Amino acid sequence: MKLEYNQLEDDIRLIKLTGKLDLDGTNSIEQEFTQHCTGENIFVLVDLSHVMYISSIGIPILVNSAKLVNSHGGRLALFAPQPNVKSVLDITGVSHVLRIYNDLETAQKRLKAA
């Protein structure tokens, strides 16, 4: 699993994940991912467009990070999951807990407005 981080305009943090969010993938990025989700009143977008697979081990990093961000007055959302990843997010109920957008532009517009 590869993690890329960028700061977008409007102080939105962008985390781009590439690879498999399974046990090995989750372990390899968990600390860095959590660091980027720490702070007061932050906005985080997670790009899932290059995540080929997500297992039940990968789900908690997304949900727990969203809870962390929310508890400090911020918001975290996901965008552009591949169909198989979106299916897992739907089946596990993550899509009922976290906002999931189709693309970066929509996610940027709606994240702060939500």
pLDDT in tens, the chain (114 residues): 999 999 998 889 999 999 999 999 999 999 999 999 999 999 999 999 999 999 999 999 999 999 999 999 999 999 999 999 999 999 999 999 999 999 999 999 998 776
Residue 63: enclosing H or E segment and its boundaries?
A: helix 59-71
Please indicate, yes or no, whether the overall pTM of this predicted structure exceeds 0.75. Answer: yes
Confirm or reject CATH 3.40.50.920 for domain 2-113, answering yes or no.
Answer: no
Using an 8 Å Cβ cutoff, are 16 and 48 in contact? no
Q: How far apart are CA 37 and CA 95, in angstroms?
A: 19
The token pair that represents 78 in the structure block: 């996901």
Return the pLDDT at 15: 98
Return the pLDDT at 76: 97
Instruction: Give the start-to-end residue ranges of the domains of the chain.
Output: 2-113
Task: Give the Cβ contact number of residue 78 at 10 Å.
Answer: 25
Using an 8 Å Cβ cutoff, are 76 and 70 in contact? yes
Return the pLDDT at 100: 97
